[in-house]
Structure 1
Amino acid sequence: MDNMLRRLLVSSLALALAGCASAPRGPVELNLVGLNDFHGNLEPSKYSYKDLNGKIQTVQAGGIEALSGTMRALRREDKDLLFVGAGDLVGASPALSSMWADEPSIEAMNLLGLNDSSLGNHEFDAGRKELLRQQNGGCDSPMRTEKACQLEPNFGGAKFHYLAANVTDSATGQLLVPGWRIEDVKGVKVGVIGAVLQGTPSVAVSWSVRGLSFGDEATAINQAVGQARAKGAQVFVVLIHEGGFAKESSPFQQDCAHLEGPIVDIVRKLDPAVRVVFSGHSHTGYLCKVDGRVVSQAASMGHLLTRVQMKVDSQSGKVEAIDAHNVLVKPGEYEADPKVSALLAKVKARSAALLAKPVSNIGVPVVSRKNSASGESPLGDLIGDAIVAAMREQGAQIGFMNPGGIRKDLEAGSDNVVSFGQAQAVLPFGNTLVVMDMSGAQLRALLEQQWDRPPASETSILQVSGALSYRWDESKPKGSRIVPGSVKVNGAPLDDAKTYRVVANNFLAEGGDEFPAFKQATNKVDTQMRDLDALIAYLKQHPGAGVPAASLAPSARIEKVKQ
């Protein structure tokens, strides 16, 4: 054998051996980190949770600086980790984000290195065109003309990928955004599949989802699994903006076995290949098992991150082991990414004047949105009174507010003065007030609908203005829980045949949150006045307005019969 041939053979053997060495053999550890329901919370906020000893702890958590520090620490352990989201990254955001069309939050997710996220219902808040602008960039935003591209002249959009396998254009049958994506992690092809709750139209203003169809979550996910498998996916992870509740568990308790809510039925219908489900929507922290699958949620507002470690056979894609943890995101625990700190500093500097503008002295440090046993909250009382006061000239007698629309406590600064930013954090949606006529019989039906809701929903006690009062009895069957003769308007018994002038936000007025009685109302007028403006006006007109509401007890407009 001549020397040249010998050298060629040796070289070929070396290349072959090198190829064998680079191809992963045996188990590979895949690390995934999940975030959900961030809602544009660029800064830390209060988080209360049950620790592993069952004790309630309240801390400051979240914020993009703390998130960036935590993610940097996790990437030092595994530079190839996959960072994913389960929807509602934006929408219902504090003013620091919303006043700039949530562009700072999209940019923050870009800097944090988010790979993929499912859509959430709040991604639809300003309609499909704005949703697609957030994904693709640009300044054409018909619903946010005065906000888009105001922080920076050129908005580049999300570098991560929004996914939703169950949202289609009704006219074309085409998906609004891709349903799935394959991520190559350490040589393993991971099929990442997104979905949003099928009930999105019931929790969104109707125009924002017009022309879109929201399909069954499990059916769409299983179809996407098949499509991704045909393209080579070996491991399957679901990101879904739907959730549940593990009421007895700490968010840090592993393998909880008592998860309840719509996510449970969805997971039970999924293809067996799906082993990990990152959920959202219910703003709860849990680490549960459903039919052997890991189902997690990382609370909300960036307070937690879910870390999932999967041991996978690199050749077959078989998942050999899964370990899941929720990680508390503590400000100051790790050094923040300088680029993230610079983004936050820029946004705060540009926003400072408006956010710091004083609104009123409320007389107390905090007006709470926490419900009493009857379902009434001090802040709900305050908002109910504020919207009626704003619409008094329109004849309004009774005001209703959905508790899900009250996003935070009304917190004051020094000397109990509330700033615009603090007020906006309470009512961030920009909903407008609608006045309408409802008969006494319709109002009675409306009150009963607080318990006659879909199985997937929890009871939602509407917050009411001071003119309305009633008692309810939990021991009675649904449809007859309002105590007969207890409903009063300005102290007089409700008259089924009489017409009352009612005010509510435009979301409720359309029957949102599954209250169809509002759809039956007549003589509707959308005043175009925002609920936030009504609250601010009321606080200005009534300095110290928080005092009666914040006496740690609601005003007993709603009473629950003691058993």
Structure 2
Amino acid sequence: MPLTAPSHRPRRRRRTNRLLAVAATVLTAGALAAAALPATATASADESGRDHGGHQPDHRPGRYQDVQLLSFNDLHGNLEAPAGSSGRVTELQPDGTTKTIDAGGVEYLATHLREARKGHRYSITAAGGDMVGASPLLSGLFHDEPTIEALNKLDLDVTSVGNHEFDEGATELGRLQNGGCHPTEGCYTDKEFEGADFPYLAANVLDEKTKKPLLKPYWVWKRQGVKVGFIGVTLEGTPDVVSAEGVKGLTFKDEVETINKYAEELRRQGVKSIVALVHEGGFPASSSYNYDCDSPGAGDGISGPIADIAENVTPEVDALVTGHTHAAYVCTIPDPAGKPRMVTSAASFGRLYTDTTLTYDRRTGDIARTAVKSANHVVTRDVPKAPDMTRLIDRWSSLAAPIGSRPVGYIFGDIPRDGTESPMGDLIADAQLAYGKSQDPETDLALMNPGGIRAPLTYAATGSEGDGVVTYAEGFAVQPFANTVNLKDYTGAQLIQVLKEQVSGPNESAPKILQISSGLTYTLDLTKTGADRVVMDSVRLNGSAIDPTATYRVASNSFLAGGGDGFTTLGQGTNELVGADDLTALEQYLTANSSATAPITPPAADRITVVR
């Protein structure tokens, strides 16, 4: 089932008026340091006819040429400026304090990227996966066609796939790449969807039958003798974080082995400058986007899966653009030869972009690694909105409005999704418990995976609905996956094992703390390690200890019920009942338990006692 990449068809010529003049200077959080080697060359337009700097070629290239690499990751269809904490970044101040900055929104991202390209004759824009999936209603309602259209307008050159590109399966990913109207819903506008004007790369995603990559494994950017290769991979563990239906018929291979294989293939083709787009990430020591993880005393810089990947990927790769963890970092990690190599991530939701300078040596065809400089920049909202993006949002919003603007509930204050246990997580778990009891009165509790909570609910109105009103669109942003709410039976011993799996096995280094419904309480001791972090004698349901031999009826979404996120024991439940989708459960709970005069108070998030 290999999917055709866009290079197999004529590349559409991009309109030159996409690079709009910006009326104000873009404010960025830090200046990109000048490269250590001189850049004397000028550029001609690339094969698409685009010259970011608008300069005429002078055909006298020098030895060294600076190539600008702009990158971002984990957009997740956030075209409108994301609300609440999802739309803020933390900035470290010179005196050591921090401040938060409102950030994101594709209207602003377009302005920042277009301004950043000015004066750069050689400029590439790349992404690290999860451009779509888990998207707000504006994009998700239309199977992310609006986001692909926006990325085309952003002049994105290339991206890797992420795990969320597989939320609707390989066939739908192929449609996003190649175009065509949705197979069951048809065309949403009077024009057929054209698909992505850039290649999705999936080097480590193989068709089980053919053993060949589902999409192109790599792509080469060329301009006036300069060649930069891009290899795209997603995390090998994608099947663990995507529904079984989404990855049916696919095999996901090791990231390092795959990158090394195709780096060698590129080198045999004469491409010696290589960037890996890796949809896997790490965890920096600071949540501030401008934290200097290479400074003395910064510890290990970043931890997590990407550190191991970066340490083992061949030295032939000159830089890694990463994602998945929604963290922000610009770090160097030594390659297997001990040479520092840049590893970057630009948080998520279009709140940041990374500006990296790759100094290309025309004599060797390779990157002068000592000259690589990089910095993350905030997509601030104090710049003019890109008019073409505003038109795009308005057009799709008008189609979504009849559905999205419908009120479904009322809240007394913000319901955030942050923390080990979050108010939003508690609310969802309570909603699924209530739904479960409506299907089977014997339902005892509900569990919710934290990664499935995609947005908070904010008290301040995001449109004309009024403060405290929760619209269908806001509920959709919280739970966009269309998972069903499933009921299963487990023994008490299995239930205890599920709690242990939050902090052991594949989840030991990066715990996934389940959000729990009212009535279930326990203590989590983070001073301990592994499964011992769950204090066994503290686990109570409605005040009583869990009986290992008793049977408990548990509600959870279909992803968890299938053993997703490393919770293999949840996949072993019996007597399954498949219910309606999880958004319906949340909507029904909000409608039944709130009104304009009696809004829901945000849950206290006090069911899990955390010892640090």
Normalised to the residue count of structure 1, the TM-score between the two structures is 0.90
Q: 2:403 matched to 1:362?
A: no
Q: In structure 1, what is the Cα distance between the partners aligned to 2:361 and 2:611?
A: 58
- Matches for 1:116-515 after TM superposition, within 5 Å: 116-141=158-183, 145-146=184-185, 149-248=187-286, 250-254=288-292, 256=294, 258-291=301-334, 292-320=340-368, 321-334=371-384, 336=386, 338-364=387-413, 366-371=414-419, 375-392=420-437, 393-394=439-440, 395-412=442-459, 413=461, 414-454=466-506, 457-515=509-567
Cα distance in structure 1, aligned partners of 2:508 and 2:516: 24
**1:370 CA drift (Å):** 1.7
Map of 2:90 onto structure 1: 49
Partner of 1:549: 602
Could you tell me how far 1:345 is from its partner in structure 2? 1.5
Q: Distance in 2 between the 1:248 and 1:69 partners?
A: 28
Contact 1:246 1:286 (8 Å CA) reproduced: yes
Q: Deviations over 1:271-328 (max 9, x none)?
A: 1121211000010111000000000000100000101111111121232211101111
- Alpha-carbon offset, residue 332 of structure 1: 4.0
CA separation in 1, counterparts of 2:265 and 2:490?
50
Corresponding residue number in structure 1 for 2:129: 87
Question: How far has the Cα of 1:75 moved from its partner?
Answer: 2.3
Correspondent of 2:582 among 507, 531, 534: 531
Amino acid at match of 2:422: S
Deviation at 1:415, TM superposition (A): 3.5
| 1:516 positional shift | 0.8
Deviation at 1:65, TM superposition (A): 0.9
Residue of structure 1 in register with 2:28 after alignment? none
Shift of 1:103: 0.2
Q: Give the deviation of 1:476 after TM superposition.
A: 4.1
Structure 1 pair 168–23 and aligned structure 2 pair: CA distance change class (3 A):
farther
Q: Is the 8 A contact 2:594 2:600 kept in 1?
A: no
Structure showing greater radius of gyration is: 1
8 A contact 2:89–2:289 mirrored in 1: no
Amino acid at match of 1:24: P
Normalising by structure 2, report the TM-score: 0.83
RMSD over equivalenced CA pairs, Å: 1.9
Name the CA distance, whole Å, in 2 between partners of 1:335 and 1:517: 49
Q: Note closer, same or farther for the CA distance 1:350–1:444 as it changes in structure 2 (3 Å cut).
A: same
Deviation track 1:373-399 (CA, whole Å, cap 9, x = no partner) reads: xx2211111111100111113232110
Q: Tell me which residue corresponds to 1:11.
A: none
Instruction: Give the deviation of 1:105 after TM superposition.
Output: 0.1
**Residue 559 of structure 1 corresponds to which residue in structure 2?**
609
1:151 to partner: Cα distance: 3.9
Choose 125-134 or 56-65, whichever is displaced more: 56-65
Amino acid at match of 1:432: T
What is the one-letter code of the residue matched to 1:438?
Answer: Y
* Structure 2 Cα separation of the partners of residues 541 and 335 of structure 1: 39
Unaligned runs of 5+ in 2: 1-56, 295-299, 335-339
> Partners in 2 of 1:466 and 1:546 — Cα distance?
18
Q: Secondary structure at the match of 2:266?
A: helix
Q: 1:492 to 1:456 in 2, by over 3 A?
A: closer
Larger mean CA deviation between 436-445 and 376-385 belongs to 376-385
Matched pairs, number: 530
2:15 maps to none
Q: 1:31-82: per-residue Cα shift (whole Å, max 9, x none)?
A: 0100100000001122131324443333321211111111211222224310
Pick closer, same or farther for the CA change 1:69–1:169 going to 2, 3 Å.
same
Structure-2 separation of matches of 1:136 and 1:103:
12
Please give the residue correspondences for 1:20-31 in structure 2 after superposition, counting only pairs within 5 Å. Answer: 22=59, 24-31=61-68
- Cα distance in 1 between the residues matched to 2:475 and 2:59: 57
Q: Partner of 1:442: helix, strand, or coil?
A: helix
Structure 2 SS opposite 1:190: strand
Q: 1:540 aligns with which of 568, 591, 608?
A: 591
Where structure 1 has 5 or more consecutive residues not aligned to the other structure, the ranges are: 1-19
Greater mean deviation of Cα atoms: 228-237 or 541-550 = 541-550
Could you say what secondary structure the match of 2:117 adopts?
helix
Q: Which amino acid in 2 is paired with 1:48?
A: V
The one-letter code matched in structure 1 to 2:558 is N
Partners in 2 of 1:481 and 1:272 — Cα distance? 39
Determine the C-alpha separation between the residues in 2 that align with 1:415 and 1:162: 40
User: After superposition, what is the alpha-carbon deviation per residue over 1:130-171, rounded to whole angstroms, capped at 9, x for unaligned?
Assistant: 011100111254xxx23x531454011001100021110111
Whether the 8 Å contact between 1:453 and 1:459 is mirrored in structure 2 is no
8 Å contact from structure 1 (residues 26, 313) kept in 2:
yes
**8 Å Cα contact 1:242/1:262 also seen in 2:** yes
Pairing 1:106–2:140 present: no
> What is the CA-CA distance between 1:353 and the residue it aligns to?
2.5
| Closer/same/farther in 2, CA of residues 209 and 418 from structure 1, 3 Å limit | same
| Higher deviation after alignment, 253-262 or 352-361 | 253-262
**Structure 1's 454 and 433: CA in aligned 2 closer, same or farther, altered over 3 A?**
same
Structure 1 contact 398–467 (Cα < 8 Å) conserved: yes
**Aligned twin of 2:34:** none
Distance in 2 of aligned mates of 1:361 and 1:353:
19
Contact 2:412 2:602 in 1 (8 A): no
Supply the distance in 1 between the matched residues of 2:288 and 2:67 (Cα, whole angstroms): 25
The 1:500–1:152 alpha-carbon spacing in structure 2 relative to 1, beyond 3 Å, is farther
Q: Equivalents in 2 of 1:164, 1:228: separation in Å?
A: 15
Secondary structure of 2:222's aligned partner:
strand
**AA matched with 2:275:** V
